[in-house]
Amino acid sequence: MRGAFADVQTSVRTTGRALADAPPPAAPRGKPGDWAYSESRPVATTASARPGDRVLRGAVYRVKRADGSVEYTNIPPASGKGRAVTMLFTYIATCMACDLHSPIHWNSVRLNLEDYASVTRRASVDYGVDEAFLRAIIHAESAFNPHALSIKGAQGLMQLMPATASDMGVLDAFNAEQNIRGGARYLGQLLQTFKGDERLAAAAYNAGPGAVERYKGVPPYAETRVYVARVEELRQRYGKALHRPLASSGAGSGSAVQ
């Protein structure tokens, strides 16, 4: 942390709260140059959320004011005269398709066919991974958020753990192209290990290849089972969308489809 804030020379404070419709925290107390932190009690983010559920996503912002003071906060700040706002990174509690209580309807959630299209297409060819499967994993892991950071340390579009990223030759996991190519390379290796079985490769991507080999199939972990089912749903839908006849796509098609 010391190195990350080495450029802060004057007053610094941080604020934080659950990202929901709740009043902002009281202004931190303290002298200029001190750190102050305040956080409201967790607020349920969905109607189905239960007491104690974690906030699933948010972002950290750096706010630098004209007087030189700096604030780090997870409360989306309004831009205004005399201060500069920078989003440092976003965070998620777990991968998008790993949440057992996800309110997302995976059989109808909008697909993303345009973002990083050229990169995923090249990586698909280079590493022998079907493009529909590759996009399904990206959607399941981060919903195409290149800045995603999980509480376990998984990073970027394909939520690569640092050790995996290093093994796959990824120098910057928040670089979209490096992340996709690293994730595709890893998926290609998993597909080779499991003889082209995408279901087992997805299970291994979530739980690790050792667990899949140990159980000789999808491990009996609740998270892994829902993850595999959601990836399968997305993979089928991306497969149909990516292989549509050209005549049916239309000249005015957008970046996402139902």
Residues designated catalytic = 141
**Amino acid type, 60:** V
**DSSP of the chain, one letter per residue?**
-TTTTTT--S-EEEEB--SSS-PPPPPPPS-TT-----BPPP--SSTT--TTPPP-EEEEEEEEETTS-EEEESS-PPPBTTEEEEEEEEEESS-TTT-TT----TTTSPEE-STTHHHHHHHHHHHT--HHHHHHHHHHHHSS-TT-BBTT--BTTTTB-HHHHHHTT-S-TTSHHHHHHHHHHHHHHHHHHTTT-HHHHHHHHHH-HHHHHHHTSS-S-HHHHHHHHHHHHHHHHHHHHHT--HHHH-TT--SEE-
Strand partners, 245: none
Residue from 122, 100, 118, 111 nearest 53 by CA:
100
